[in-house]
Structure 1
Amino acid sequence: MSADHLPFRYRWPVLAGALAGIALRLVFSGVAGGHWSAMAGAFVFLAPIAVGMVTVYVAEREHRRSWLYYLGAPFLATALFVVGTLLINIEGLICAIVIAPLFGVLGSIGGLLMGIACRVSGWPRPTLYAAGVLPLLMGALVPGTALQDEHSQVERSLWIAAPPAVVWQQLTQLPDIRADEVARGWAYRIGVPPPKSGVTGAAGQRVQHFRMGKGIHFDGDITEWLPARRIAWTYRFAADSVPAGALDDHVRIGGLYFDLLDTAFELQPEHGGTRLAMRTRYRVSTQFNFYAEGVAKLLLGNVSEVLLELYARRSEVQTVSCFSSMVPRAT
């Protein structure tokens, strides 16, 4: 492919776009909920558009580029922008991976808009100035606490070759979870610490205690307790539940932008085994819920499937072990 299509020969426009994005990210480095938080809609929506516009503007100063360039070069620039924030340690891996697809699309839109401005309007420089000022203006005007709360839920179910009583035991006593047992979880692959255990407290406490990697710990106050039939709990997070650095602040469980609300399991005898259904409700609070809620649903749905498979494997192993111990050995 020729250099007019992708910036392999002339890399400066892509680098200029990426540097513009990093500069905006440094501006939007405020505390969660503040005007200058990286979760502000002014940054999330407008920064990648500005990156795309800078990329195309710099390229057009050299010579006319193709329409494909207007889409492709900004996409590469936003990718380099995201990588750059990781390299200088102002962004966490989880947030970078989650936001990269949206940034890529918005960057391409910005590049296309600048391409149109260069070809049609004859006013590319004022357009570029507006693109650079608009994120700052909107960041100053729109409060970071102007969030949209959206409550949603994910539901999954799995048939398990074990009786309800055995499955119930795993639901209430699940210690020593190995990393390989949850390796299929997308959230854990991108940096969320994997679960370590989920154990019900002593008799009469009706509290589920959870531990995850990097020292994360929290409780579930049990609201429904029907042995071998149904269990549900609401999540409770203490001030020290998520140690500093264990999760990106933007995806902190129980934080300003995301929270787990409750989980319920229902057990139904089915075909000699158990149908285990899991429902988890959660909250997403951002200025771009159309995207954030979709990502949360995708990741939590996958995590639910991984946990159901974990319960199934342990329940089936226990069932086989119990059956084997009951079979008399030949003498």
Structure 2
Amino acid sequence: MEKSTTLAVTAATVYGLLLRILHDLLDQFLGSIISISFVMLAPLTIGFLTIYLLPKDQTKSMVSIIFKPFLPCAILMCITIALNIEGTICWLMIFPLFAFTASLGGIIASQIRKKNDRDSNQKNRNTLYGSFILCLPLVLGFIEGDTTSSRKDFYISRSVIIKASSKQVWKELTNINEIKPEEQKNSLSTFLGFPRHISTTIEKLEIGGRRIAIYDKGLFFNETIAKLENEQLLVLNININPNTIPVKVMDEHIVLGGKHVDILQDVYRLQSLSDGTCKLTLSSHFYINTPFNWYAGLWSEYLMGDILKSQINLIQSRTYKI
């Protein structure tokens, strides 16, 4: 990497890191880091600064303008993960949007530079515009606060056909207990850092009874049986206290039970089929609360679906071993 490129990328990275630190210091006034002002405008200004500081001969092609802003974003991701400022799972989900917006910032910077070249009298004015753009994340952050977040509820389900009777499947479902490592297949959710399922126990199989699901890294869910129909239906209300979830488990901004995401209820349904098999369906009700539910919802549905699939696959594999 050329010296001029290194300087531009370093300056953009330091600027992004300062924005992140200021958001923590001024969170009382700026609201959540999961906001339009940070998630959308911070990468835009990082990309803008990168291209604006690069020599003209390195920004002649649109390819350079689009992809060079990725560099400070990637470095910023590595630094904040290494310093435990942000979690890996949060970054992996947001990076595609972050990088795309950084490219838009690079395109804006290139257009301003072209205007400067065509009209030297406009150079000072365009420089002023550029300085204003760099202040946008903080200025709009004070205005935005948490006002742009909105709740969206999701209901998703996954099903599997098990070659066993409903009675056999029900027995495995209500007696999960300890889960051995070899029983768990690699999945997207575990790859992204979601804790592995260790055990699930039911204290009393009755309405009002408690089921405890334990995961590694200290994560656990207290679940209450809300409805019960033997060998047919198990409805669980999920109560997650975010204060009991260790910081190392999940990024603080997407912690379960927090203000941005929560799981409310799981429903297991068993349906006996005419060929003697059983259809097991696991449904989940959860919500997200962000300014960009259209994007966060895609990830949430995919990850939750992956977790549900892992749960019913465990029951299926255990039933086959009977």
TM-score (norm 1): 0.87
Question: Partner residue of 2:187?
Answer: 185
Q: Could you tell me whether the CA contact under 8 Å between 1:32 and 1:249 is conserved in 2?
A: no
Is the counterpart of residue 278 in structure 1 residue 288 in structure 2?
Answer: no
Q: How many angstroms apart in 2 are the aligned matches of 1:73 and 1:301? A: 35
1:129-148 aligned at under 5 Å gives the runs 129-144=131-146, 146-148=148-150
Q: Could you tell me whether the CA contact under 8 Å between 1:30 and 1:36 is conserved in 2?
A: no
Q: Which amino acid aligns with 2:259?
A: L
Q: Which amino acid aligns with 2:11?
A: A
How many residues matched? 313
Q: Which amino acid aligns with 2:65?
A: Y
3-state SS of paired residue (1:265): strand
Is the counterpart of residue 83 in structure 1 residue 78 in structure 2?
Answer: yes
Q: How many angstroms apart in 2 are the aligned matches of 1:145 and 1:114? A: 29
Is the counterpart of residue 267 in structure 1 residue 270 in structure 2?
Answer: yes
Q: How many angstroms apart in 1 are the aligned matches of 2:235 and 2:64? A: 53
Q: Structure 1 residues 120 and 183, CA, compared in 2 at 3 Å: closer, same or farther?
A: farther
Question: Partner residue of 2:314?
Answer: 310
Question: Partner residue of 1:246?
Answer: 249
Of 35-44 and 165-174, more deviation after overlay is shown by 35-44
Q: Could you tell me whether the CA contact under 8 Å between 1:200 and 1:209 is conserved in 2?
A: yes
Question: Partner residue of 1:324?
Answer: none
Q: How many angstroms apart in 2 are the aligned matches of 1:141 and 1:297? A: 31
Q: Which amino acid aligns with 1:236?
A: N
Q: 1:37 aligns with which of 32, 53, 70?
A: 32
Of 22-31 and 154-163, more deviation after overlay is shown by 22-31
Question: Partner residue of 2:298?
Answer: 294
Per-residue deviation at 1:239? Answer: 6.1
Of 297-306 and 205-214, more deviation after overlay is shown by 205-214
3-state SS of paired residue (2:224): strand
How big is each residue's C-alpha offset from its partner over 1:270-317, in whole Å with a ceiling of 9 and x where there is no partner? 332211111111110112211111111111111111211111101111
Of 50-59 and 270-279, more deviation after overlay is shown by 270-279
3-state SS of paired residue (2:257): coil
Q: How many angstroms apart in 2 are the aligned matches of 1:34 and 1:259? A: 24
Q: How many angstroms apart in 1 are the aligned matches of 2:242 and 2:292? A: 27
Q: How many angstroms apart in 1 are the aligned matches of 2:233 and 2:145? A: 43
How big is each residue's C-alpha offset from its partner over 1:166-195, in whole Å with a ceiling of 9 and x where there is no partner? 111222221111344334221221212111
Q: Structure 1 residues 239 and 254, CA, compared in 2 at 3 Å: closer, same or farther?
A: closer
1:85-124 aligned at under 5 Å gives the runs 85-120=80-115, 123=123, 124=126
Q: 1:26 aligns with which of 18, 21, 41?
A: 21
Is the counterpart of residue 48 in structure 1 residue 48 in structure 2?
Answer: no
Q: How many angstroms apart in 1 are the aligned matches of 2:277 and 2:287? A: 33
Q: Could you tell me whether the CA contact under 8 Å between 2:163 and 2:277 is conserved in 1?
A: yes
3-state SS of paired residue (1:173): coil
Q: How many angstroms apart in 2 are the aligned matches of 1:214 and 1:145? A: 33
Question: Partner residue of 1:194?
Answer: 196
Per-residue deviation at 1:211? Answer: 0.9
3-state SS of paired residue (1:296): helix
Q: How many angstroms apart in 1 are the aligned matches of 2:232 and 2:50? A: 59
Q: How many angstroms apart in 2 are the aligned matches of 1:115 and 1:17? A: 15
Q: Structure 1 residues 46 and 157, CA, compared in 2 at 3 Å: closer, same or farther?
A: same
Per-residue deviation at 1:73? Answer: 0.2
Per-residue deviation at 1:40? Answer: 2.5
Q: Which amino acid aligns with 2:233?
A: R
Q: Could you tell me whether the CA contact under 8 Å between 2:9 and 2:71 is conserved in 1?
A: yes
Q: How many angstroms apart in 2 are the aligned matches of 1:149 and 1:225? A: 29
Per-residue deviation at 1:158? Answer: 0.7
Q: How many angstroms apart in 2 are the aligned matches of 1:221 and 1:290? A: 31
Q: 1:257 aligns with which of 256, 260, 279?
A: 260
Q: How many angstroms apart in 2 are the aligned matches of 1:158 and 1:228? A: 16
Is the counterpart of residue 157 in structure 1 residue 159 in structure 2?
Answer: yes
Q: Structure 1 residues 316 and 234, CA, compared in 2 at 3 Å: closer, same or farther?
A: same
Q: Structure 1 residues 172 and 63, CA, compared in 2 at 3 Å: closer, same or farther?
A: closer
Unaligned runs of 5+ in 1: 319-331
1:6-21 aligned at under 5 Å gives the runs 10-21=5-16
Q: Could you tell me whether the CA contact under 8 Å between 1:30 and 1:38 is conserved in 2?
A: no
3-state SS of paired residue (1:249): coil
How big is each residue's C-alpha offset from its partner over 1:86-106, in whole Å with a ceiling of 9 and x where there is no partner? 233311112111111111111
**What percentage of residue pairs aligned between the two structures are identical?**
24
Question: Partner residue of 2:230?
Answer: 227
TM-score (norm 2): 0.89
Q: Structure 1 residues 239 and 27, CA, compared in 2 at 3 Å: closer, same or farther?
A: closer
Of 257-266 and 235-244, more deviation after overlay is shown by 235-244
